[in-house]
Structure 1
Amino acid sequence: MNEEQRLLFAIAATYLRRKRKRRSVWIHGTIRARSQHGEYHRLVQELRLDEVRFQQYFRLDRTQFDVLLRRVGPLIAKENTNYRRAISPGERLAICLRFLATGDSYRTIAFSYRVGHSTVAGIVAEVAKAIWDSLVEEYMPVPTTEDWREIAAEFYHRWNFPNCVGSIDGKHVVIQAPNNSGSLFYNYKGTYSIVLLAVVDAKYCFRIIDVGSYGKSSDGGTLANSPFGNALRRVTLGLPEDTLLPGAEHLGPQPYVFVADEAFPLRRDLMRPFPGTTLPSRHRVFNYRLSRARLTVENAFGILAAQWRMYRRVIGISPSNAETCVKATCVLHNFLRRTTRAVSYVGDGEASGLHDISQVGSNNAAREAMRVRETLVNYFSAEGAVPWQPQA
């Protein structure tokens, strides 16, 4: 660079510096008063005196909030600087939980807590990841062979479906259309979404989740492209060996299976209902018994959306941050299910009538998968029958 070029560069740099808008204040007055008037320092501290309202505000009671804070605190703590005092781990956790519980915009939460909206964006992403990292090993570990056996025992005890190790379904999480994404996130419902694929046990807890598939993907396609689907195809999930159905030794050992709706393929280890509306009685009974067991995943999604209202809104953040928040709510769901004293199991007990199964196209199911399904049909019509299943 010669002398003339250096001079032109210096002139241009000086011009740009002068043109750049200067901050009127380093910290806005409303933010400076956070410790006196911010929602965490006023309202939240008052709510600690009222257990019910505290739980309504955060979806966690005081004990659960404090336990969670002890877990994530070391991961989200920041150091004070010469310029400003760091936001405490408790306040950072409160901001994140409030976003998950309401789905309010970053700017709305920023005004309530008297912080910058960009600060809220950073806090939500960081704390949601910390929640997942700190809870997943205890509250959503990869099931072992013994875990699969325990899940199957619970399904048989609560839902009268033997050898069932989980209920599978996908949920579209509506997000704001990402820039330059085309139709990748556009789903059949006419919204933009990422997909939450979940395996749920008999107690409505998430055992395996896969988050982030494009909204345009079908449930079957999402399963096929997920790590869980790959493990299912490669027989590396650690499922127990085939075992006898209760009271039906003559049928021989049968595989452990997942249950799903008609959007998923029929496999030896994945049962779906019979297609069609005009079915023999035996097939209708099978569809009812399968649908009854499959309701666990539907109920889990309903509980999840009722607790964390971000699912009731269009999530206006990037797909990657939305994925992080979804994972955080799923592991928090398990945390709450296992640490709340009184938990009700929707759907336990006798059911009334057969569930209507919508008509679907035929599939190329393997003979072995069809044999397993037919064996379950025979079982539900004989040794495994329950008193209320003939009701139409």
Structure 2
Amino acid sequence: MKRIEVHEMENFIKDALLGTMYTNSNVEEYNEILTILASLAAESSSSSEDSEQEQIEHPKCSNFVDTIDSFEDEDFKSHFRLSRTTLDYLIGRYEESEQTRFATKAGKTKIPAKTMMYMYVWYLSNTITYRQLAVLFGVTKSTAWAIVRRVVAWVISIGHEFVKWPIGDALEETTRKFLQRKQIPGVIGAIDCTHIINAPIKDKHIYFDRKRNYSVVLQAIVDAD
């Protein structure tokens, strides 16, 4: 199988980001984000290589999507870290996009948007390898790798719809919910930080944290929901 070149992945990410960055975004900030994402993709590029021998040695499940659909709501959220309603919404949005179906190889069945979204969220929420993901969903390892990155790019492309400060009625609704739930007036968000245990190849020493890991610090603010 043809290896996916690093520069192709960089361009793929760049195209996705160009459509989402605000017009007044800082150029240096944009370049830094692009460098981090491209470096992470470069480190993972070897995962796209799949041998014919591997296909023979690793039989794959054929009905895992049906198994997921049979989960009770509590089990579904436990595995996906998202409610079924939220994931169904994402699937619906993804089906409306230009990337609705993904062709693996000529003559093979195309992978539905629902399966692709299941694969993406399962990969994020369960910390498994591409090999394990491929076995579960009945695809090759290289296809699993490509699907995860394809959906990542799509999520980035719609991120600006959700990652934004509340204004107007949304702002009032957010403060009302925080007051109702935590009895604290005037709150528009809850802030916290976490570490993504990975780091760009360039200047890796800069990302050595206090817990002696190489990580990228993520600071996030969420609303009352």
The bucket for the TM-score relative to the shorter chain is 0.5 to 0.7
Greater relative CO, 1 or 2 (CA 8 Å, sep 6+): 2
Contact 1:77 1:89 in 2 (8 A): yes
Question: What is residue 147 of structure 1 aligned with on the other side?
Answer: 170
Shift of 1:85: 3.0
1:58 maps to 2:58: no
CA RMSD of aligned residues (A): 3.4
Q: What amino acid is aligned across from residue 173 of structure 1 in structure 2?
A: I
Q: Which of 185, 188, 195 is residue 207 of structure 2 equivalent to? A: 185
Q: Which of 165, 173, 183 is residue 188 of structure 2 equivalent to? A: 165
Q: TM-score, normalised by structure 1?
A: 0.37
Contact 1:59 1:101 in 2 (8 A): yes
Question: What is residue 93 of structure 1 aligned with on the other side?
Answer: 117
Q: Which structure dedicates a bigger proportion of its chain to helix? A: 2
Q: Which of 188, 194, 197 is residue 219 of structure 2 equivalent to? A: 197
Paired residues, number: 173
Q: TM-score, normalised by structure 2?
A: 0.60
Shift of 1:104: 0.8
Q: Rg bigger for which structure?
A: 1
Deviations, residues 153-194 of structure 1 (Å, cap 9, x unaligned): 33334333333333333222222x443433122112211111
Cα distance change on mapping 1:149 and 1:94 into 2, 3 Å: closer
Question: What is residue 358 of structure 1 aligned with on the other side?
Answer: none
Contact 1:72 1:134 in 2 (8 A): no
Contact 1:30 1:114 in 2 (8 A): no
Deviations, residues 2-22 of structure 1 (Å, cap 9, x unaligned): xxxxxxxxxxxxxxxxxxxxx
- 1-side partners of 2:87 and 2:191: how far apart? 30
User: Any idea what SS the aligned residue of 1:183 has?
Assistant: helix
* Structure 2: gaps spanning 5 or more residues: 1-49
- 1-side partners of 2:51 and 2:216: how far apart? 41
Contact 1:48 1:62 in 2 (8 A): no
User: Any idea what SS the aligned residue of 2:207 has?
Assistant: coil
- 1-side partners of 2:84 and 2:221: how far apart? 29
Cα distance change on mapping 1:105 and 1:50 into 2, 3 Å: closer
Q: Which of 115, 122, 140 is residue 116 of structure 1 equivalent to? A: 140
Deviations, residues 240-283 of structure 1 (Å, cap 9, x unaligned): xxxxxxxxxxxxxxxxxxxxxxxxxxxxxxxxxxxxxxxxxxxx
Shift of 1:48: 2.3
- 2-side partners of 1:88 and 1:63: how far apart? 18
Cα distance change on mapping 1:88 and 1:129 into 2, 3 Å: same
Shift of 1:45: 0.7
Shift of 1:51: 2.1
User: Any idea what SS the aligned residue of 1:111 has?
Assistant: helix
Cα distance change on mapping 1:157 and 1:25 into 2, 3 Å: closer
Contact 2:123 2:133 in 1 (8 A): yes
Shift of 1:145: 4.1
- 1-side partners of 2:205 and 2:153: how far apart? 28
Contact 1:171 1:196 in 2 (8 A): yes
Q: Which of 45, 48, 70 is residue 66 of structure 2 equivalent to? A: 45
Contact 2:100 2:113 in 1 (8 A): yes
Q: What amino acid is aligned across from residue 152 of structure 1 in structure 2?
A: T
Contact 2:102 2:112 in 1 (8 A): no
Cα distance change on mapping 1:155 and 1:26 into 2, 3 Å: closer
Deviations, residues 290-337 of structure 1 (Å, cap 9, x unaligned): xxxxxxxxxxxxxxxxxxxxxxxxxxxxxxxxxxxxxxxxxxxxxxxx
- 1-side partners of 2:147 and 2:155: how far apart? 12
Q: Which of 100, 115, 125 is residue 149 of structure 2 equivalent to? A: 125
Question: What is residue 214 of structure 1 aligned with on the other side?
Answer: none
- 2-side partners of 1:62 and 1:149: how far apart? 27
- 1-side partners of 2:216 and 2:51: how far apart? 41
Q: Which of 69, 89, 94 is residue 72 of structure 1 equivalent to? A: 94
